A and B are shown apart, each in its own frame.
Chain A
Amino acid sequence: MNPSNFQPPVIAIWLIDLLIPEAQKESVKGDLLEESSDLATKYGESSARSWYWRHSTRTIARLMFRTPWVVAIAVFGAFFAVIAVAGFILVQRLDIDAYVPFTKSATYLLFLYGTGTLELLAASVVVAMLARGKETIATVLFGLTLLLVFVAADMIAHRHALLLTHPTFLIVNSVLIAIVGVFVRKKRSKAERRLLGG
């Protein structure tokens, strides 16, 4: 087989285009094609395809969290996971009727602020761990995504947008996420310095 005829899996290329940072995309695709073409010549196309899949997924796993929108989605996912789990546990433990009385009670406020705090802590730690110095970009994207989702949800549920409360919540939340992100990074640097004995 002529090496130049080897065609890498289209879906793997699509995933690389989607998930790997712009600056590295072309050279990564070139490197993967160069090595897989050599393998196709030596061992056949199916070995080369399986090599391409294995290395492209490993490469994506290593580089995807350098792409700001992936970081934002990871944070967003963590947010909903925490809300869902905390809400479920609270409703189960307190045997709350999830409808009319619930929305007007003190338990509702506890649920709201409790899950809000948990969400803030989880999102902050996730941003700090994943963004690695890109907290600002990740936080802005996170805030914008939340803003769009909340406004859309309000529009659907109430036929109007709560344009004052939600942006305020989001701005405060984003600033707090950035602050906690800096705090976590500083702790990490201190731990590294301790390890070095500096």
Chain B
Amino acid sequence: MSGRDHLGEFEHIVLLALIRLGDRAYGVSVRQEIATCIDRDVSVGAIYATLDRLEAKGYVTSSMGEPTAKRGGRPKRFFRVTAKGMSALDRARRALLSMSKGLKLVGRYV
């Protein structure tokens, strides 16, 4: 695994948001899903910068939708998680589980 193949925290969150949204994953819906699930207000730019990085790593693919009047005739850019992205998520999840195994975090530092 090269140094650039690991998932950062925000990349992890964005990938999970894409999976939750399925076919409806584009800039606005991803932003809103993150705000709803973890109460974190992120900019459209942060989402796109992260999605671009994930696309460069081969973890997501994107496709353009139809232009709509609500968006001033501009298309949505839809994103999907690839098989490589799924395995990166699984790797990250297993790494977190291994690292936290046997630890009793609640009550120890709080």
Contacts and interface: CB of A to CB of B under 8 A. Distances in A.
Nearest to A60: B45
A179 interface: no
| Size class of the contact patch on chain A | 20 to 34
A58 B47 CA distance: 11
Interface residues of B, number: 27
A160 interface: no
B47 to A, nearest CB: 8
Interface string A42-64: 00000000000001001111110
Nearest to B72: A33
A143 B44 CA distance: 33
Contacts of B74: 26-27, 29-30, 33
Nearest to A62: B45
B70 interface: yes
A196 B4 CA distance: 10
A184 to B, nearest CB: 14
A192 B4 contact: yes
B75 interface: yes
Given A30-B76, A62-B49, 7 more contacts: A27-B75, A28-B45, A31-B31, A32-B44, A34-B28, A60-B45, A198-B1
A24 interface: yes
Contacts of B52: 24, 66
Contact of B26 (A4, A27, A33): A27
Contacts of B72: 29-30, 33
| Residue from the set A27, A62, A198 with the largest chain B CB neighbour count within 10 Å | A27
B49 A4 contact: no
A8 to B, nearest CB: 8
A30 B71 contact: yes
14 contacts: A26-B74, A27-B64, A27-B74, A27-B76, A29-B74, A30-B67, A30-B76, A37-B70, A59-B44, A62-B48, A66-B49, A189-B2, A189-B4, A196-B1
Interface in B43-99: 43-46, 48-49, 52, 64, 67-72, 74-77
Contacts of B45: 28, 55, 58-63
Nearest to A13: B72
Nearest to A26: B74
B44 to A, nearest CB: 5
A31 B25 CA distance: 12
Given A4-B69, A26-B74, A63-B49, A31 B44 contact: yes
B71 A33 contact: yes
Contacts of B2: 189, 193
